[in-house]
Amino acid sequence: MSEESAARGRVLLIVSGGIAAYKVLETIRRLKQAGVAVRCVLTRGGAEFVTPLSLQALSEDRVYTDLFSLTDESEMGHIELSRQADLVVVAPASADLLAKMAAGLADDLAATVLLATDKPVLVAPAMNVRMWEHPATQDNLATLIRRGVSLIGPNEGPMACGEYGPGRLVEPADLAAAILRRLGAGAGEAEERAQPAAGPLAGRKALVTSGPTHEPIDPVRYIANRSSGRQGHAIAEALAALGAEVTLVSGPTHLPDPPGLATVRIESAEEMLAACRAALPVDIAVCAAAVADWTVKARGAAKIKKQAGGPPPALELAENPDILKTLSAPGAERPALVVGFAAETEEVAQLGAKKRARKGCDWILANDVSEGTGTFGGDENTVTLITAEGAEPWPTQTKRAVAARLAERIAAHFEDPSRTGAAGKAAE
């Protein structure tokens, strides 16, 4: 690695098997343009999709493939290889390599380097949706996150195998941006760390609400909405991937609890508010849940019977607590950054800006949930980020991509020296 590029950050990139391996070529190009030194380890599976020559040409450094190469061991042993970088990145991270990492196996160069490294590790998974959703993979990820490994992605979308869902490698621009952010102030600071960093939000506490609330009418029926919880869950995972200690307060959804973070499941808005208050103090609060505006004032103790030929029962509604406004209110336990969502069907940016002012939160993500958008229950979202500086429309993208982008913006917010004193960190 050249002295000039090494001064700006050094990355050891481990490329494992998968069709998405071609994306790392563009990632390397972007990192080199940013002045980052890149050295590559290529697994046997990865070599089925990209060649050592391609990686060497773009990284301008030797590519390592064989654990038992006597030449490599004499010039650059796997221990040295694992420790001369400021950040170790696995992209694409296959289900097989994630399993090896979780189990502490060392049967090839990539696994041995990962077991021997004392530097921060970032994994970017890519695999078939069924493999991603398998409990074994999710358990392995939970284990790695507990150990301080950071996660980016995967994105949702069509697969090379013809299926659709989460499992796509994040785009090169997003991966390169995440790597650059983790390199932070540069190699000198990274070398001084006694322990591997867990990400730019390490030491921060975050609260995320997700999903709908169910407001009971009687023991059988309830008032609800179409929220799936996918956006809120993705945000919780994205914040955890950047090192935050996350509490997810979730209404009723069909989604599994995200690995590596605390999930509190609730039913009603009252229960959600109580769970949020119990999670305080935190540095970050993201209110992504679609909380019902009203609840039934007098809930039936028994199932309300339909009277043949009679009028339908009259339901008297009462206003639910305003969780976003409550968390945004000034006070000792107000989070340093409060982010809300505004689900609108018209004049999205204008109404979102009004909601931000009305609730007193710092940011609003306003999204169009009108009929035909497929936002509720779908895989994509179109949002406009509204802050004190104005409105910033984001392109339509997957909910995981929205979450990753929001998490990166939150990390950048706390990295701003002008905000550090005011934000502080949540009290222990």
d(CA 284, CA 68) in angstroms, rounded, equals 47
Say which residues have a Cβ less than 8 Å from residue 66's Cβ, sequence separation at least 6. Answer: 72, 109
Q: From the candidates 40, 161, 276, 361, which is the catalytic residue?
A: 161
d(CA 354, CA 80): 56
Whole-angstrom CA distances from 278 to 184, 264, 274 are 33, 10, 6
User: Known catalytic residue: 276?
Assistant: no
Helix, coil or strand: residue 140: helix
As given in the structure block, the two tokens for residue 346 are 């018209």
Q: What is the C-alpha to C-alpha distance for residues 95 and 244, in angstroms, rounded to an integer? A: 24
User: Which residues are bridge partners to 209 per DSSP?
Assistant: 249, 287
> CA torsion, points 75, 80, 85, 90, in degrees to nearest 10?
100
| Helix intervals (H) in 88-205 | 95-103, 109-116, 129-133, 135-146, 172-183, 187-192
Whether 367 contacts 344, CB under 8 Å: yes
* Largest separation between any pair of C-alpha atoms in the chain: 90
3-state SS assignment for residue 155:
strand
Tokens representing 229?
């919880």
Q: Which residues contact 35 (CB under 8 A, 6 or more apart)?
A: 4, 5, 8, 9
DSSP string, 278-335: HH-S-SEEEE--B--SEEESS--SSPPPPPTTSPPPP--EEEPP-HHHHHHSSSTT--
Q: How many CA atoms within 13 Å lie on the side-chain side of 201? A: 32
Query: Looking at the annotation, which residues are catalytic?
Result: 161
